[in-house]
Amino acid sequence: MKYSKVFITSFGYELPPHIVTTAQIEARIKPFLDAVGFQPGQLEALTGIRERRYWDEDHTLADHAAVAGQRAMEQAGIHPSDIGALVFCGVCQDGFEPATSCHIAHQLNIGPEAHVYDVKSACLGMITGMVQVANEIELGNIKAGLVVSCETARQIVDSTIQEINLHKSVDFYKDTVATLTGGSGAAAVLLTDGTLGDDDIRY
């Protein structure tokens, strides 16, 4: 769909504090590498990824997504009362209920009239959320919407490492190696109808 009055007004993000290198990941799968005769450095050569980041273990996704959302609003000079929709689009979530978006909206002081909900669409989550908010703006239902996400990779990487060392299978490694590339982070995209903030990026 082509939009006539939807603009990408600003972005926000937050990076986790802990850097984990690919060399550190490889050191943890050494039992597998030794068993199949792979040399160190293969994972970085295969993926091109040198490092990824992890949150503190006691973090919440809502906290970091709220930071990213706040930065996007501040960059554009948008007040929380201007936000007509807030969509959380992460694969990960803090719990089954209430929706993670509810916690984020509360932290950002988003008004009770805003549409607040979670969207699950795997790696396409942010794009899916942006399309939904853009549709609302194009229809004239809202003037601005915030699309946020936060992911954490620590747990799934840890469990994958355990399984790789357990199986010691090249085929299993091929099927799961993409998981070892995962990292953590939070991001936000602010969409508007062009009457708020900076409207120089047409969606």
Active site residue ranges: 97, 123
Q: Which distant-in-sequence residues (6+ apart) come within 8 Å of 157 by Cβ?
A: 25, 179, 180, 182
Q: At what angle do helices 100-108 and 61-76 cross, to 10 degrees?
A: 40
Of the candidates 182, 187, 146, the residue with the CA atom closest to the CA atom of residue 14: 187
Q: Assign 155 to helix, strand or coil.
A: helix
Both structure tokens of 146: 């915030």
Question: What residue has token string 């160190």?
Answer: 40
Measure the CA–CA gap between 196 and 58, rounded to whole angstroms.
Answer: 36
